[in-house]
Amino acid sequence: MKFSTRAIHAGQEPDAATGAIMTPIFQTSTYAQTGLGGHKGYEYSRTGNPTRTALEECLAALENGSYGLAFASGLAGESAILSMLKAGDHIVSCDDLYGGTYRLFERIVGRYNIETSYVTASSIADYEKAIRPNTKLLWLETPTNPLLRLVDIRAVAEIAHRHQILVVVDNTFSSPYFQKPLDLGADIVLHSTTKYINGHSDVVGGAIITNNQEAYEALKFNQNAAGGIPGPFDAWLTLRGVKTLAVRMRQHEENALAVARYLVEHPRVEKVYYPGLPSHPDHELAKRQMSGFGGMVSFQFKGTLADVDRVVRRLKIFTFAESLGGVESLVCHPATMTHASIPQKIREARGLTDTLLRLSVGIEDAEDLLADLEYALA
Ligand SMILES: *Cc1c(COP(=O)(O)O)cnc(C)c1O
């Protein structure tokens, strides 16, 4: 089956008991057993729940993976991956990273004597230099957040595999519709399903997909043993949201390209970051590695912090809020919101300045979005 068909059908059959077309919300914590060891594959809902199973199988199919695991949040999924490590292990990651991931590495995992080194995202040679004998994970985000630089997954995976290191790719920004990291050599894909996969800003959730059976068994163990699972209703909402992923992503991209082209011409805009622009430093890699450029656009505004505040207050359709990937357009100020947990000096050195704004371009009418920007930037 092709992608759009899988998004609607993978992991889902009409309900055996009733014929219901949509997977029921199995709102139960436990399951009747017929006798010692006699059950239908489900014993307790932390370990497994049929609504969650449908979501896990659907997401695995969308990433061309064999195994999927759903979590209560993207960060709960990240914690399950990091729980594969032990004290003394080392992680190599990129420097332009989701703020919450950075906080998890530095303030939780770091306490267990697991150190993380950060490499300039697009500099392939630097990944190899950062590898130590105790490096166990190479953790990438591409496109990066919020500067939308790309990491060459295939090239980095080749380096990592020469050293027996597992490659994790946070694929939240592209969604499996535009990028399939497992096909490019990654071992584990992570999603905040809160974003494009659910797509309607009404659930917080996460997922892990892999083809590596050994990693899957360790991750499945961690999911049950640490317990960061989504409830059946959240799994059901996400399953409902993902059915329209393909059509949503196409519209997100079309609108994002229109917004990026508009901003490039605007006199109050210093710089636009969008991998779909030929001027973007990773445009060629984006064309090779992704089947589309996504719906995120960042730009540097010419002005002061007070001007930035005026812009976000005047925007009407773009709502000033954290998060991304919903049908509605959002604008966020990374320096004080998503990336506030990164010390200012480190932030500024990475180009994440106080006048940077990040747009999650929704699927409203593009003309209305451009008019909204026109009014606010004026
Ligand atoms: C939001 C996000 C996360 C964290 O996911 P939650 O669902 O908020 O826990 C991780 N990575 C990226 C790229 C994100 O945007």
Whole-number pLDDT of residue 350: 78
Burial class (CB within 10 angstroms; exposed 0-12, middle 13-18, buried 19+) of 256: buried
**Contact yes or no for 151/142 (Cβ under 8 A):** yes
Q: Catalytic site residue 350?
A: no
Query: Bridge partners of 360?
Result: 296, 330
Whole-number pLDDT of residue 64: 98
pLDDT digits (tens, 9 = 90+) for 85-139: 999 999 999 988 888 999 999 999 999 999 999 999 888 999 999 999 999 999 9
Whether 304 shows a pLDDT value over 90: the answer reads: yes
Whole-number pLDDT of residue 296: 98
> What value, to the nearest 5°, has the Cα angle with vertex 45 and ends 82 and 50?
100
| Set 98, 102, 177, 273: catalytic member | 98
Domain boundary among 207, 242, 277: 242
Whole-number pLDDT of residue 229: 98
Whether 372 shows a pLDDT value over 90: the answer reads: yes
Are residues 307 and 266 part of one domain? yes
pLDDT digits (tens, 9 = 90+) for 21-58: 999 999 999 999 999 989 999 999 999 999 999 999 99
Distance CA 62, CA 189 (A): 11
Q: What is the number of other CB atoms lying within 10 angstroms of the CB of residue 319?
A: 16
- Averaged pLDDT for residues 192-206: 98
The CATH number of whichever domain residue 65 belongs to comes to 3.40.640.10
Domain boundary among 212, 242, 272: 242
Whether 342 shows a pLDDT value over 80: the answer reads: no
Kindly report the protein residue whose alpha carbon is nearest to atom 2 of ligand 1. Answer: 192
Whole-number pLDDT of residue 114: 98
Query: Ligand 1 within 6 A of 193 CB?
Result: no
pTM: 0.96
Whole-number pLDDT of residue 349: 83
Whole-number pLDDT of residue 198: 98
Give me the percent of the chain exceeding a pLDDT of 90: 92
Q: Domain of 322?
A: 246-377
Q: Which residue has the higher pLDDT, 338 or 232?
A: 232
Whole-number pLDDT of residue 7: 98
Whole-number pLDDT of residue 351: 81
Confidence of residue 357 (pLDDT cuts 50, 70, 90): very high
Confidence of residue 340 (pLDDT cuts 50, 70, 90): confident
Distance CA 229, CA 52 (A): 9
Are residues 169 and 49 part of one domain? yes
Domain boundary among 199, 220, 242: 242
pLDDT digits (tens, 9 = 90+) for 203-235: 999 999 999 999 999 999 999 999 999 999 999
Alpha carbons within 13 A on the beta-carbon side of 148: 29
The CATH number of whichever domain residue 292 belongs to comes to 3.90.1150.10
| Interhelix angle 232-242/50-62, nearest 10 degrees | 30
Are residues 262 and 157 part of one domain? no
Are residues 297 and 151 part of one domain? no
Lowest-pLDDT range of 144-148, 176-180, 268-272, 278-282: 144-148
DSSP characters over 207-258: EEEES-HHHHHHHHHHHHHH--PPPHHHHHHHHHHHTTHHHHHHHHHHHHHH
Query: Ligand 1 within 6 A of 192 CB?
Result: yes
Whole-number pLDDT of residue 121: 85
User: What's the CA-to-centroid distance between 18 and ligand 1, angstroms?
Assistant: 36
Whether 370 shows a pLDDT value over 80: the answer reads: yes
Average pLDDT, the chain: 96
**Considering its fold, how many domains does the chain have in total?**
2
Give me the percent of the chain exceeding a pLDDT of 70: 100
- Averaged pLDDT for residues 273-280: 97
Are residues 23 and 95 part of one domain? yes
Ligand 1 pocket mutation pick from 71, 73, 75, 202 by most atoms within 8 angstroms of CB? 75
